Structure 1
């Protein structure tokens, strides 16, 4: 048997084998249809609920929005008004929650939407993660700033709400540093959102009962720092007692510039927003989170991303203040442009609706006008009267043409229009229309006859 014949037999055997086993050439070289992937063009929605009382709320939103603009992502901010909506989390893939409407947490649990906490740890909610500034380090830096100016005397700590996350950590950070100074005694005032007046009065009482002894105040939040600054100004102690805040913002940095506040802590609100967005995207895409710590809660250990903080000092005050101010101005501009765009869109929709209404009204008016024109005499009329009023002015002139006298006469007549005339007037438009139709028919017949004669 020749080599060519044997080669052909081998080829035929291979083909028969492939046919019997159901395989094809695509199976041998790889089926591209099975390995290809399609990318969906749908827009991702991230829901965000922030604490309305946070002085750095706009800086957080700026961090979120700056990244969202670069991707096909819609950020849906939910305020207190979202409680009245039927499904405020509709379409959302993840909820970033710092505060605000607590009912959103229940909705997220019902709709099985992952919740990412931001700076605050909500109770009774299963979280997928948390982004928060280093609370204990914040407390330490506050105390270190104060002891650089005060080595003895009384120090008042204005603590935040005990129910807030980081309350114990900040206080622990304060005490770690202050405990190293035995000549410093500490007095604590615990506050809550509903007891601002009580907190203010408590500070006033301590200052009055200990004249000249209080040397410093540590205020854990901007709200408490502003309250303390107000009390110190009223008691004329703002230049004698050192005030240190724990939540830097534009107003607190302005107080530092004016000398009314000794120090503050930069908690990097913009970076909080950036990291919250990045984690939200990782959660949606089911990617690994860049965890650097964990937070203990009633639900167990929660993966956390701790944002580094730093003290605001006279050396870096100008730089940090400029950064906060420019970022805030940019955020306000973005917010203004968005509101204007929404208003323009709303006005356009209203204008179109109004134009449609006007078009409908014009059509109705035109129809009514045509109806009135076609029947000028109302139905049921039995008698018509015409009132004719004429006024004649007579002028008397001298030889030079100058008017030396005038005389006016008024003549008014009332006539009754006969019924036959009314009938004739009402039928006249119909007859005119009929005559026009007859004339047109006669003209068409004449033209047709002339054309026939021409053909002949």
Structure 2
């Protein structure tokens, strides 16, 4: 016992002589731990028009949370700029609603953080970029900053990525051709091709042609459409159907935007029940078309798995680990290592199961976004219509009496705009977004119109509903107090006069 006491005394004496304290040691240890626990950052730029953007992002964020890494989402603004949204614990804090699986709703989900658009500050701290689309200026920045890029779905122009993750284009083509072979005996098959300069689009078309060559009575007519020219492709389809009336048994659309155009054309020609429509990018909207008989088949490209694999490759690049390459893709910058994601056919027999899976994944993504927005509101940052406005409404209530209730009601952040009925245990929201794009010539004449409609179903978590009900109750009490204060003040003034 005496020996132990002597050792402790000698240790404390040494600390005194060296001017060091236990607090200093603990502080240094904490500082060292803080430095060692600093999270790595991965930047993500996704295509706002991808109907499955939310599911891709969910795969990335789930892996980031698991690996204790941060994700910075660069979302394109209306002017094409990249707005920065930084995540915490693998979660991405966003501005307004984004992440259903519909492209229209997703384009609304852009961060309002106010970052500089298209500047190098967007990528500050990021060590690797997962790029699917968005502001092309970001690619120039990463190239000058030597930040490696993991591409998604297709190769970006002007830069050679470290690797690319994409659904199997050859298998997609084969699977899209199968329903045609089984249901069409002869005629001209229209293939609405994506960007003809994209290598995966070329592979799909070649695979479709090879599969359909099994029936010599089937011929293929391809309508190519570079990105942004889907409306023109729809018009070309209309013209072809009119010139070849009764000779087209099926239409194959390589992506969702082309499938939407094809569906609209078939409806306008009253051919939706006579001509098979096969899509190449399953999503909630295309699966809904299948359930109503407008579309005959689709391809499940596993968007969530795409996100998971993109993150894994980004992490391997950060750790300088070997990539699990199973293919390569040739682009304008040469051969690029590729990870091919398996795809599967969606038919009426399994459509309900696939639709349920997509809907569940979309709901999970929406809940995660709701939680991120809730956390952001709790922190009180960048909340011009949130707590600050609520406090302002409460202050007015004390001075203005009955008008305070209106000010406070308008100041609620994320409210539904109406009182929550008693007994409510669950709230579901249905958001419909309609986007209309017009193409004009130099004289302002409208050459074509592109219209897309998307829907998103969301469920507000019970804990968030409970919090809103509590806020509503508190505001009612504060309004009542404000009215009583105004009444007392009025009576006091009356007595004085």
TM-score (structure 1 length as normaliser): 0.67
2:122 alignment partner, SS class: coil
Give yes or no for the alignment of 1:313 onto 2:347. yes
Match of 2:45 in 1: 49
> In structure 2, what is the Cα distance between the partners aligned to 1:120 and 1:343?
36
Retained in 2: the 8 A contact 1:119–1:165? no
- Contact kept? 2:118, 2:138, Cα under 8 Å: no
Alignment partner of 2:268 out of 234, 237, 262 = 234
Aligned twin of 1:66: 62
**CA, structure 1 residues 151+107, in 2 after alignment: closer, same or farther (shift >3 Å)?**
same
Query: Judging changes above 3 Å, is the alpha-carbon distance between structure 1 residues 315 and 355 closer, same or farther for their aligned structure 2 residues?
Result: closer
> Which secondary structure state, in structure 2, belongs to the residue aligned with residue 302 of structure 1?
strand
1:39-188 paired onto structure 2 within 5 Å:
40-80=36-76, 81-82=81-82, 83-188=117-222
**Residue 201 (structure 1) shift:** 1.6
RMSD across aligned positions (CA):
2.5
For 1:186 and 1:61, the matched residues in 2 are separated by: 36
Q: 1:88 to 1:237 in 2, by over 3 A?
A: same
Matched residues, number: 322
Residue 452 (structure 1) aligns with: none
Contact 1:158 1:191 in 2 (8 A): yes
1:209: which partner in 2?
Answer: 243
Q: 1:238 to 1:348 in 2, by over 3 A?
A: closer
CA offsets 1:144-187 (integer angstroms, 9 cap, x no match): 12211112112111111223341101101111111121111222
Alpha-carbon distance between aligned partners in 2 of 1:61 and 1:352, rounded to the nearest angstrom: 31
CA distance in 2, matches of 1:336, 1:323: 20
* C-alpha contact (below 8 Å) 1:134/1:306 kept by paired residues: yes
Separation in 1, partners of 2:156, 2:381? 39
Distance 1:349 1:145 in 2: 51
Go from structure 1 to structure 2 and tell me whether the alpha carbon gap of 1:135 and 1:349 turns closer, same or farther (over 3 Å shift). closer
Compared with structure 1, are the counterparts of its residues 282 and 235 closer, same or farther at alpha carbon in structure 2 (3 Å cutoff)?
same
Q: Which runs of 5+ in 1 are unaligned?
A: 1-36, 357-456
Distance 1:223 1:349, change over 3 A: closer
Which structure has the bigger radius of gyration? 1
Please tell me whether the aligned partners of residues 95 and 113 of structure 1 are also in contact (alpha carbons under 8 angstroms).
Answer: yes
Alpha-carbon separation, structure 1, partners of 2:267 and 2:389? 56
- Taking a change above 3 Å as real, the CA distance of residues 44 and 159 of structure 1, as seen in their structure-2 partners, is same
Q: C-alpha displacement at 1:315, in angstroms?
A: 2.5
Query: Residue in 1 aligned with 2:114?
Result: none
| C-alpha distance in structure 2 between counterparts of 1:163 and 1:203, whole Å | 20
- Whole-angstrom distance in 2 between the partners of 1:303 and 1:348: 41
2: CA distance, partners of 1:97 / 1:246: 21
2:379 alignment partner, one of 321, 331, 345: 345
Task: Tell me the secondary structure at the aligned position of residue 166 of structure 1.
Answer: helix
Give the Cα separation in 1 of the matches to 2:200 and 2:208.
12
Structure 2 unaligned segments of length 5 or more: list them.
1-31, 83-116, 393-497
Matched, 1:193 2:216: no
Sort the Cα spacing of 1:244 and 1:48 in 2 relative to 1 into closer, same or farther, 3 A.
same
Write the distance in 2 (CA, Å) between the matches of 1:96 and 1:149: 40
Give the TM-score of the pair, scaled to structure 2: 0.61
CA offsets 1:219-268 (integer angstroms, 9 cap, x no match): 11111111111111111110000110111111111111111111011111
Q: Secondary structure at the match of 2:66?
A: coil
- Post-superposition offset of 1:353: 12
Q: Distance in 2 between matches of 1:99 and 1:197?
A: 20
The alpha-carbon distance between structure 1 residues 119 and 242, as it changes in their structure 2 partners (threshold 3 A), is: same
Other structure's SS at 2:322 match: coil
- Deviation track 1:89-148 (CA, whole Å, cap 9, x = no partner) reads 000010001111111111111111111111110122122111111111111110112211
Helix, strand or coil for the counterpart of 2:290? helix
